[in-house]
Amino acid sequence: MFQHSKQGAIDIISGDEVLDRSTIEDVLELIEKCMVLGQPKLVFNLEKVPLIDSQGLGFLLETRDQCSERGGTFKLAAPNKLGKDILRITGIDEEIEIFDDVIAAAGSFGQ
């Protein structure tokens, strides 16, 4: 299940399911709520996400683009070893800023 939380002005999406076609719809609902209030500052916490498939990767890039179009920023936090490998092999680690943990990702908005 995916859920939304806030750390100050930063929206954080976290979950413990595979990010794929079957879960994207749920995540999209949470993200759309974050997009309605001005410039989104969004962190996707991957700490407990066991796997990201190709549709999930595309979804992450689309979310980054939507945030940018609204003058905001989208960052990833705490991918597990497999997640890091997937993000590196696909080149997404060069497209989206990735942090070791949510606190560092949220803190980076103030820099």
| Domain range annotation of the chain | 2-110
Amino acid letter for position 48: K
For the segment 23-74, what is each residue's pLDDT rounded down to a tens digit? 999 999 999 999 987 889 999 999 999 999 999 999 999 999 999 999 999 9
SS3 51: coil
17 φ/ψ angles, rounded to the nearest 5 degrees = -120, 165
For the segment 65-74, what is each residue's pLDDT rounded down to a tens digit? 999 999 999 9
- Whole-angstrom distance, CA of residue 12 vs CA of residue 42: 6
Supply the CATH classification number for the domain 2-110: 3.30.750.24
Q: What is the pTM of this model?
A: 0.95
